[in-house]
Amino acid sequence: MASLPKPSVAPKTQVSVVLGSQWGDEGKGKLTDILAADVDICARCAGGNNAGHTIVANIGPDNVKTKFDFHLLPSGLVNPRCIGFLGSGVVVHVPSLFSELDTLEKKGLKCDGRLFVSDRAHLVFDFHQVVDGLKEVELGGSSIGTTKKGIGPAYSSKASRSGLRVHHLYDFELFANKFRKLVEGRFKRYGNFEYDTEGEIARYRAFAERLRPLIVDGVTFIHSALASNRRILVEGANALMLDLDYGTYPFVTSSSTGIGGVCTGLGIPPLAIGTVVGVMKAYTSRVGAGPFPTELFDETCVHLQEVGAEYGTTTGRRRRCGWLDLVMMRYSCLINGYTCMNLTKLDVLDGIKEIKVATGYRYQGKELTSFPADLSVLAKVEVEYKTFPGWEGPISEVTEYSQLPDTCRAYVEYLEDFMGIPITWVGVGPGRLSMLRR
């Protein structure tokens, strides 16, 4: 086929991936922002507007410090030379896409001609969001605690082969018929919830026109970029422990949030990927329900929540917090094959007298040799901890790794040894400059 680019062997540095290694909210945004300064394309491969990245950047000729919240759009758009791409594995809620785009533009970030969407990406509709809420109500006490953005229901439509993709918008009569059938199916399942089907179809007729210039054949787009030596940063959404297969199922999101999702979500082969950075917070947090072996309920939890500002950017919910779990991290490292790590929010541990990390799980008196698939086991594991002396701090003004207190470096180096992966980046504060490169 003459129109498709020939497969190319990407140089090791051409495609970099940033992935959350825990339960999300590791602070991927800051590293993505730093790395996006040097790339041509920043791509999302999975998830939808359930993700949340806040980036503070100086923009415009007057370098005005501006805060940007990204949920669906790739946060690399903050770099005015970077192109944003939503790959085939992403689920797109078109009204949210435009409202996010309009907010960026209002804040002075010109995005015209800088955002492209794969024609194979699936659409999330408002009825998916309604169904997300209804499903949660149905689950009652065992609800997942979803973001209610319709992500699970949209991926369900995709998996059941009744979903609508971006390209369907361009044969509008066919789109409208399929859409009516899809909504009918949901009415049958959940009863006649309030929903203006025809009004929604009319809105999508207008959206389709606005979206048209952004649509590309996702495979041609990404492979042409590879063939012309464009540097690509893949921005992971959510995190490995929320992965549909390898996370703490069913308390997960509905997409492949690990390295596998990068290949399927962008249509690129594994060998195209050079660097895989795992982002790991110096402690653990989790939003929503599900077992969390190192969870804390004492004043240290309050310290982590308050000092770490552990409130969801997408939902505003207070996050559950606990010690860093190296059993989980080893599992995460095996699956994603990180080539290096970014340890984040180390400064949040300043002032804690004794810092613990989980190094083993025991179940019914026996050491577990793997991370359990069965949540009833995970909920009952006894956690073995290693305790470290803390440091006073503050460490957020430190600019060189060697200037960190000895006890702080001992903590970092223990984590590195345990995982067998270099910690190349250490985040010591919220600012863009508070990132130590080793």
Sign of dihedral through CA atoms 138, 142, 144, 148? positive
- Work out which of 27, 29, 152, 265 binds ligand IMP, going by CB under 6 A: 152
Distance of closest approach, residue 42 Cβ to ligand IMP, in angstroms: 17
Contacts of ligand IMP in 340-379 (CB under 6 A): none
Residue partners of 297: CB distance under 8 A and separation at least 6 = none
Between residues 69 and 217, which has the closer beta carbon with respect to ligand IMP?
69
Rule CB under 6 A: say whether 236 interacts with ligand IMP: no
Contact pattern from residue 18 through residue 57 relative to ligand IMP, giving x for each residue in contact according to CB under 6 A and a dash for the rest: ------xx------------------------xxx-----
Distance of closest approach, residue 310 Cβ to ligand IMP, in angstroms: 11
Q: In angstroms, rounded to a whole number, what is the distance separating the alpha carbons of residues 65 and 255?
A: 34
27 annotated as a binding-site residue? yes
- Both tokens of residue 399? 């600019």
360 annotated as a binding-site residue? no
Between residues 126 and 384, which has the closer beta carbon with respect to ligand IMP?
126
In sequence order, which ranges of 191-298 are alpha helices (DSSP H)? 197-211, 218-227, 259-266
Strand partners for 17? 234, 276
359 annotated as a binding-site residue? no
Contacts of ligand IMP in 268-297 (CB under 6 A): 287-288
Judge whether 93 counts as a catalytic residue. Answer: no
Give the binding range for ligand IMP (CB under 6 A) out of 11-19, 206-214, 250-258, 345-353.
250-258
- Both tokens of residue 308? 């770490």
Q: Tell me how crowded residue 370 is: count the other CB atoms within 10 A of its CB.
A: 10
Rule CB under 6 A: say whether 149 interacts with ligand IMP: yes
Residue partners of 90: CB distance under 8 A and separation at least 6 = 44, 45, 46, 47, 48, 72, 118, 121, 265
Between residues 225 and 259, which has the closer beta carbon with respect to ligand IMP?
259
- Work out which of 145, 360, 389, 430 binds ligand IMP, going by CB under 6 A: 145
State the DSSP H helix or E strand holding residue 330, giving kind and residue range, or none if neither: helix 326-336
Rule CB under 6 A: say whether 261 interacts with ligand IMP: no
- Both tokens of residue 269? 């082969």
Q: How far is CA 235 from the centre of its chain?
A: 7
- What string of DSSP letters covers 97-113? HHHHHHHHHHTT---TT
Judge whether 281 counts as a catalytic residue. Answer: no
Distance of closest approach, residue 263 Cβ to ligand IMP, in angstroms: 21
Closest to 276 measured CA to CA, from 311, 235, 228, 328: 235
51 annotated as a binding-site residue? yes
263-297 b/e (C-beta count within 10 Å ≥ 16 → b): bebbbbeeebbbbbbbbbbbbbbbbbbbbbbbbbe
Among 158, 168, 281, 356, which one carries the catalytic annotation?
A: 158
Q: By 3-state DSSP, what share of the chain in percent is helix, strand and coil, each rounded to 5?
A: 35, 20, 40
β-pairing, 122-123 with 91-92? parallel
Q: Is 42 left (phi over 0), alpha (psi -120 to 50) or beta?
A: beta
Q: In angstroms, rounded to a whole number, what is the distance separating the alpha carbons of residues 12 and 271?
A: 9
- Work out which of 14, 88, 129, 238 binds ligand IMP, going by CB under 6 A: 238
- Work out which of 19, 41, 115, 151 binds ligand IMP, going by CB under 6 A: 151
365 annotated as a binding-site residue? no
Contact pattern from residue 105 through residue 144 relative to ligand IMP, giving x for each residue in contact according to CB under 6 A and a dash for the rest: ---------------------------------------x
429 annotated as a binding-site residue? yes
Between residues 20 and 372, which has the closer beta carbon with respect to ligand IMP?
20
In the block, residue with structure tokens 């919220």 = 430
In the block, residue with structure tokens 């689920």 = 91
Distance of closest approach, residue 25 Cβ to ligand IMP, in angstroms: 5
Q: Which amino acid makes up residue 153?
A: P
Q: In angstroms, rounded to a whole number, what is the distance separating the alpha carbons of residues 50 and 91?
A: 10
- Both tokens of residue 288? 């929503």
Judge whether 168 counts as a catalytic residue. Answer: no
- Residues with a known catalytic role: 25, 53, 158
Q: Which residues are annotated as a binding site?
A: 24-30, 50-54, 147, 161, 238, 253, 313-319, 345-347, 427-429
**Footprint of ligand IMP on this chain (CB under 6 A)?**
24-25, 50-52, 144-147, 149, 151-152, 238, 242, 251, 253-254, 287-288
Q: Which residues are annotated as a binding site for GTP?
A: 24-30, 52-54, 319, 345-347, 427-429
Q: Which residues are annotated as a binding site for IMP?
A: 25-28, 50-53, 147, 161, 238, 253, 317
Q: Which residues are annotated as a binding site for Mg(2+)?
A: 25, 52
